[in-house]
Structure 1
């Protein structure tokens, strides 16, 4: 979903709450004779008052303009038939299906699983295991042999010691003995996780089966979660032109030596860190939890720092070099804080099967569907050997019109399940009995029909769901309208864009820049020396050799073309050729040698195209809304508006 889509849908969710029952039927305004009540406007205004960032939009008159413009656009979208487009209907249908998954669930079972998940992510387990592997579709004989073998291995491990047996039986093909080190909740398949967390430290689990085969687990230790760490970092990127990596490695070592010399981490981060999103804040990162960072060396370094204020040696990741400083430690978050995230993870995990099973049972009770189905005997009787070869068809005399099962108001027929069996044929290596095939198939068929039925009737059964769908329905419609009428039209209107650029060239200037060398040091005395050397024409390399040494980095130089906002330049730095005075900047001292001043220049249309198109879209939309207001007259009832203002300002 592109950014415009997100922004327009956010605006819609902020702006509207439809389908509510009005207690005040007075009409605030009409759009081409379609009425909008005062109650709807008041409800929307109050709902979104705290969400609106622009103070002007909190003014009732200004907010009313937004609201009427929105209603004008919806009126035009429906007039153009955009609500009938297949792509619109398909997108809406997909969204409803996705949203319904949050509403069609068993909340009690979900809650229990979420609590269990919190208890598990609150602790780490250090374990090792032995696995006897099974093929993807094992025969009963395969299963029995594997089970008997794992039982024997467990008996040996109890007598001889788990590690001894694990190393001995591991062959890397049919039997695996692996040391898993530390892990937490959601890191293993659910059955494995259950065994690991339910087995006491120092004991061996009973044999259990996952999709991989039969396991036993030996739990070596358990500990509380490492929680959350807050760190700052100084980062130097790997640069494409620095193919050897020597330049970035030397740069980070220079900075590290300055840290060892006692210069402050935050100051050096502000001056030299190339992570622009954190440099101005002293390199501070968002809090980090185990498993959150996609670099093991970075995460291990973060959690390897024990004392607040300590910093690491330079480390190398796929992105560049880092020096990391520990700013704070925090234990694992509370249950209430983690609950939303855990709910999502539970629903994506194998635990979801438990939730699904509870849901199916609840829906059967709700729609009065029995578990007994005598018709399954009929379907068992019509299967034949072709089903194993995926070539089975319904017989000519198939009794398709017979009633099979009723879900609410929907009557399902033999034909519905028969077609399901035809569609879901698959190669069956283990040749399950026809009775088993039919029973499993009916289970799957009935469960899917139960969920589909509730999903189809969810807008009738759940007011909150109905409101959200309505909001999305209008938001999606508004997006399609804006894309077709404004955004895409502005992109392809090359003449209009060019005319707009020519009429507003003064808005598209490249700022003044300097070609400069910036020297930075924590010591003012050193900077005075560097300033004199720069004024005398000495090269940067020679100055470096004079004031720095392998063990002592007093000065770092930055050489490039910079605008006034560059992190190396002091605030309000006046562009002037030559050696500047010594400035205090970012808790350090800097001197700037301005080699050349590059004046403000006019950006070409090609250079400024993105900004021009964006501005042109705003201009085009303003004109379009004015035309809509002429096409669909808006009539505001001033008396009712005054009542609304009085009510909203109480």
Structure 2
């Protein structure tokens, strides 16, 4: 009996597999006889399902309409030969190279670098260094001379002290002796970082080389990294004409916090950082070096306990008070892994990954090379190379085989053209040509090995092939939209004005008030302010009566405000005169409405941004109708039903 059940189960699995496999090869619809496979639609639908915000787009039929429009646009782009544009082809090739790195890099090497970086991020190093600059292509004799110089300086630093040597040797041109302050992983080129982290506090590293020259680094201190901090802030902007008023206002707000009023409530009312005011001033958490204001960062990290508030201070953005919300150490390796992988690809560590990849490719592919071929090029190259005027000789045997990778033949012409393009990067006549040529040959071989692997990758890796195809289409679609919709919408002023004139009622300033808003945590104080306002008291007089140097009871805001303004209570009724007292953001407010500014139309120039956006939508809708008439779509209903069954499981 069990065997019978197993037979039915296996039959069911095999039938399901055959169904899916068949569906992968079936055509869902055609656009002017160009087939679109069901498998592509299923893959794209599943991939984008969580990204769409409109619930109607999650409906299979609704999404199919979007997908058909997408395919019509691509057909139009190809009809216009946008896929032949040099700029398009260039960008696409660049993307393929970048994408290939994700599929070709050795994961074990990357993982080791990720773990190392995470460990180093937990320690900050304070160091000084000495650098003697030298060209990367210097002769062995010049290299040895510089190495001996840096070795001598190392001995002197050890015996005489860094500061004495710094003043003597630093010239800012060929020799640099600098204090670097604290840094951690990713702040320096990778060889420098290695030397710093592998040198003990109080010691001087052995000489090491980077692309800049030879260095020694003196490690002064190592400390635990400060981790990550979360703070809220209240900011009052400053300008040259308003510095004193801004400082007065931030001090008033700080006093109210000191008196026990909620920080977030005051931030909602008064902070001029519009991106955080509505959230009570809360900023995204950050670590050392992520904030562009050092004073802001230092004060944020100086706060010790959650809820602690700083004294008012000034940054390049304005006056602030900060409240500590949370503090935590460097995140775990698991949490940081995606971020670290991304940084490593952009960092000089990427050379480690690349070097390992090249080593692997040299072992993987059969390379046929001949030393005499490289010697030939050494015999024909001359000093014109440094002036970017060197050329290949007239009797140059362009079609002669220079190198083979597997079955791919590379000719003298291939390497010769590579040298011609490379000479623009070499203008230092003190460099030794034979050294440069050896390096250029290695670079050429590395490039060709990687190119050979990339050329075969699209047939070896289906994930890579699908992503490449998606980007190809996405880039093409972007160019099409820019050509047909976006650029036209921005440059066709006549059409924009006509659209504006036909839809003027959509573009207006809402009703506003010119008002003074008084806010206090104490209802009796606001009652007093309301009475003083009713008796005709002016702004400054009332302020001086209710506030003192040591006691800030009321904060005033004034100017034009619409119903959504942060200082106004919700559902505030616009009416000239003194309002009733409202409870708003855990405080009490009273509003003196000086006058009401009615709803008024915006001019074309005032509304141009919104008009442009609306016109683009309008133009695209009409354009899609034209494409629908131009490109016939035929849907295979039988295949569509199969797709729906697969997607609904």
TM-score computed with the length of structure 1 as normaliser:
0.88
**For the Cα contact (< 8 Å) 2:369–2:402, is it kept in 1?**
no
**For the Cα contact (< 8 Å) 1:22–1:40, is it kept in 2?**
no
1: CA distance, partners of 2:347 / 2:325:
34
2: CA distance, partners of 1:318 / 1:369:
59
Q: Partner of 2:291 in structure 1?
A: 293
**For the Cα contact (< 8 Å) 1:230–1:327, is it kept in 2?**
yes
1:256 deviates by 1.7
Post-superposition CA distance 1:364-395 (Å, at most 9, x none)? 23331257634223333334565566654434
1:259 deviates by 1.9
1: CA distance, partners of 2:141 / 2:623:
74
Q: Say yes or no: does 1:625 pair with 2:627.
A: no
**For the Cα contact (< 8 Å) 1:128–1:181, is it kept in 2?**
yes
2: CA distance, partners of 1:151 / 1:481:
60
2: CA distance, partners of 1:187 / 1:262:
42
2: CA distance, partners of 1:362 / 1:349:
21
Post-superposition CA distance 1:207-248 (Å, at most 9, x none)? 334455544434343232211000011011124xx4362222
Change (3 A) 1:280 1:460: same
Change (3 A) 1:536 1:21: farther
Q: How does 1:366-515 map to 2 (within 5 A)?
A: 366-369=364-367, 373-384=371-382, 392-425=390-423, 426-430=426-430, 432=432, 435-515=434-514
TM-score computed with the length of structure 2 as normaliser:
0.88
**Secondary structure at the counterpart of residue 466 of structure 1:** helix
**Secondary structure at the counterpart of residue 124 of structure 1:** strand
Change (3 A) 1:390 1:168: closer
1: CA distance, partners of 2:189 / 2:645:
60
**Secondary structure at the counterpart of residue 627 of structure 2:** helix
**For the Cα contact (< 8 Å) 1:311–1:326, is it kept in 2?**
yes
**For the Cα contact (< 8 Å) 1:22–1:39, is it kept in 2?**
no
**For the Cα contact (< 8 Å) 1:273–1:283, is it kept in 2?**
yes
Q: In the alignment, which of 310, 313, 337 is matched to residue 312 of structure 1? A: 310
1:190 deviates by 2.3
Q: Partner of 1:45 in structure 2?
A: 45
**CA RMSD of superposed structures (Å):** 2.9
Bigger mean CA offset, 374-383 vs 581-590: 374-383
Post-superposition CA distance 1:486-544 (Å, at most 9, x none)? 33334455454444434433322321111111001111111010000001110010001
**Secondary structure at the counterpart of residue 367 of structure 2:** coil
1: CA distance, partners of 2:375 / 2:318:
66
**For the Cα contact (< 8 Å) 1:134–1:143, is it kept in 2?**
no
1:566 deviates by 0.2
Q: Say yes or no: does 1:117 pair with 2:123.
A: no
**For the Cα contact (< 8 Å) 2:313–2:320, is it kept in 1?**
yes
1:177 deviates by 5.3
Question: Which blocks of at least 5 consecutive residues in structure 1 are unaligned?
Answer: 1-19
Change (3 A) 1:501 1:110: same
Bigger mean CA offset, 273-282 vs 593-602: 593-602
2: CA distance, partners of 1:499 / 1:538:
50
Q: Partner of 1:64 in structure 2?
A: 64
Change (3 A) 1:21 1:219: farther
Q: Say yes or no: does 1:255 pair with 2:238.
A: no
2: CA distance, partners of 1:586 / 1:410:
73
1:308 deviates by 1.4
Q: In the alignment, which of 329, 332, 348 is matched to residue 331 of structure 1? A: 329
Q: In the alignment, which of 264, 269, 273 is matched to residue 267 of structure 2? A: 269
Q: Partner of 1:541 in structure 2?
A: 540
Q: Partner of 2:9 in structure 1?
A: none
Q: Partner of 2:589 in structure 1?
A: 590
**For the Cα contact (< 8 Å) 2:369–2:403, is it kept in 1?**
no
**For the Cα contact (< 8 Å) 1:501–1:612, is it kept in 2?**
yes
**Secondary structure at the counterpart of residue 608 of structure 1:** helix
**For the Cα contact (< 8 Å) 2:370–2:403, is it kept in 1?**
no
Change (3 A) 1:37 1:180: closer
1:288 deviates by 0.8
Bigger mean CA offset, 522-531 vs 605-614: 605-614
Q: Partner of 2:3 in structure 1?
A: none
**Secondary structure at the counterpart of residue 241 of structure 2:** coil
Bigger mean CA offset, 280-289 vs 313-322: 313-322
